[in-house]
């Protein structure tokens, strides 16, 4: 099974204001691909809030020459094909993906699951299940709020679930995947 883990950083509260994407692909029990790309947010949506810059460090100057998501998605599309998507706090990242696909009129559908929900089921003893806490628990290096590092940490979390004989719990989470379809999202 191929699992593609995604993470987005945004310029502001608008979900279509993505300024960075991270992708980590798991195939045959190992991370085979790790990608991070800057994204130029769509005109009129991509103004940068100072508090968001303080979180991820990305500014308008960093993305002014970057491609838009439509171009980035076409480049990364092979990682999104024939895969199960995952994200830590998938409500946010799948929401960003949906907003961007809708903005650019790109059709895409997949199943996905949330590593935040999975971590709660697999490690209920942890005091919290945010990405930083779980990464520390697993001894995974994390440069938090850098999309590539965040996607990699969530991918390593999935691998840890598998290696710790937690497969039954992970399988239970994965069996409860949700369906994402950008055409349906646009109609909503």
Give the tens place of pLDDT for each residue, 127-171. 999 999 999 999 999 999 999 999 999 999 999 988 876 556 566
* Residue 65 structure tokens: 């020459």
Q: Is residue 43 part of a domain?
A: yes
**The CA-based dihedral angle spanning residues 29, 32, 33, 34, taken in that order and rounded to the nearest 10 degrees:** 60
* Residue 90 structure tokens: 């998938």
Q: Is residue 50 part of a domain?
A: yes
Q: Is residue 143 part of a domain?
A: yes
In the predicted structure, residue 82 carries a pLDDT above the cut 60: yes
Residues 6+ apart with CB under 8 A from 164: 122
Percentage of residues of the chain with pLDDT beyond 70: 90
In the predicted structure, residue 174 carries a pLDDT above the cut 70: no
Residue 152's CATH number: 3.30.420.10
As a whole number of angstroms, the distance between CA 53 and CA 12 comes to 9
In the predicted structure, residue 187 carries a pLDDT above the cut 60: no
Q: Total domain count for the chain?
A: 1
Give the range of the structural domain holding residue 123, as residue numbers without chain letter.
Answer: 3-182
Q: Is residue 126 part of a domain?
A: yes
- What is the phi/psi pair of residue 21, to 5°? -130, 140
In the predicted structure, residue 175 carries a pLDDT above the cut 90: no
Q: Is residue 188 part of a domain?
A: no
Q: Is residue 187 part of a domain?
A: no
pLDDT band, very low/low/confident/very high, at 180 (cuts 50, 70, 90) = confident
């Amino acid at each position: 099974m191929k699992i593609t883990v995604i993470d987005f950083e945004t310029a502001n509260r608008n979900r279509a204001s993505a300024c960075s994407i991270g992708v980590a692909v798991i195939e045959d029990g190992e991370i085979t691909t790790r990608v991070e790309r800057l994204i130029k947010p769509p005109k009129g949506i991509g103004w940068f809030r100072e508090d968001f810059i303080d979180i991820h460090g990305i500014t308008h100057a960093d993305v002014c020459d970057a491609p838009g998501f439509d171009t980035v998605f076409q480049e990364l599309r092979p990682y999104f094909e024939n895969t199960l998507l995952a994200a830590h706090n998938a409500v946010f990242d799948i929401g960003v993906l949906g907003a961007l696909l809708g903005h650019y009129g790109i059709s895409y559908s997949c199943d996905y699951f949330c590593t935040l929900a999975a971590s709660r089921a697999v490690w209920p003893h942890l005091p919290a299940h945010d990405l930083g806490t779980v990464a520390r628990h697993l001894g995974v290096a994390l440069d938090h709020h850098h999309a590539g590092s965040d996607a990699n940490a969530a991918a390593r979390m999935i691998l840890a679930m598998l290696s710790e004989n937690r497969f039954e719990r992970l399988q239970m989470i994965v069996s409860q995947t949700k369906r994402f379809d950008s055409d349906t999202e646009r109609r909503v």
